Amino acid sequence: MSKECELMHREDISTIILKRAGKGNSLSRDLVASLHEMLDRCFENNTKALLIRAEGKHFCTGFDLADLESESDDSLLARFVEIELLLQKIYWAPFATLAIGQGSVIGAGADIFASCTYRIALDTSSFTFPGAKFGLVLGSRRLAARVGTSLARDWINASRKISAADALTCGLATHLSRIEEQDSLVAELLQGQRLPQSTQRQVYRATAQDQESQAADLQALILSIMPGGIKQRITAYVNQ
């Protein structure tokens, strides 16, 4: 069992808990692999709704840069591809997905949040999409689907810090909650999620954008990395 996250399943509701609180729940290689495995299990165990939450102060502070010196451009590309495929699994899941964003929600962590059906921002949280600072295109179309093209471009290009209140107003968050009220809100949202996966899959396909966008999102990510030097660009960003 992974020490970096945990999957719990009760009746037809699943919960994934990120458990790297000491590292801001940043996305290590092992954590991403475990999340893939846990999502696959949710596809098989009749999950009707999935809640993604995190231990500690922050929901997820993005890509784990702890071992950047040991990475190569190729290994970084492989890791970012795995994250994009994870985001697609969440976005296209045949069941409702909920995320609770607390503290700093950054980069790929903010992309996980944006990929979910219901997006609860705690009132002290903030959101940032800094990938463009080192030339990375990840999750941009999904963000634009939530908040609109112009605003998404502004947030990404300027790496703006978005407050919880602004996230709600602009559509990045679907709900705003105080910490002490989050459990009752989650219970309320989960109460109506009882459709079979087969029915939810049909509803989601009928209401989502063309699934050809999945390939386009992956292509956009790869093209943003392909010029080479992604490790150098990330290192320069970290050293700023």
Q: Classify residue 107: in a domain, yes or no.
A: yes
126-128 and 104-106: which strand pairing? parallel
Task: Please give the model's pTM, rounded to 2 decimal places.
Answer: 0.93
* Spacing of C-alpha 173 from chain mean position: 12
Task: Report residue 194's pLDDT band, with 50, 70 and 90 as the boundaries.
Answer: low
Residues 47-60 have pLDDT tens digits of 999 999 999 999 99
Q: Classify residue 226: in a domain, yes or no.
A: no
Q: How far apart are CA 60 and CA 154, in angstroms?
A: 22
Based on the structure, what is the number of domains in the chain? 1
Q: Classify residue 209: in a domain, yes or no.
A: no
Report the CATH number at residue 99: 3.90.226.10
Per-residue pLDDT at 213: 80
Residues 6+ apart with CB under 8 A from 183: none
Task: Report residue 2's pLDDT band, with 50, 70 and 90 as the boundaries.
Answer: confident
DSSP class per residue in 133-150: GGT---SHHHHHHHH-HH
Q: Classify residue 71: in a domain, yes or no.
A: yes
Among the listed residues 42, 93, 90, 46, the one whose alpha carbon sits nearest the alpha carbon of residue 195: 46
The whole domain housing 170 covers: 5-179
| pLDDT beyond 80 at 196 | no
Task: Report residue 205's pLDDT band, with 50, 70 and 90 as the boundaries.
Answer: low
7-28 burial, b for 16+ CB within 10 Å, e for fewer? Answer: beeeebbbbbebbbeebbbbbb
Q: Classify residue 85: in a domain, yes or no.
A: yes
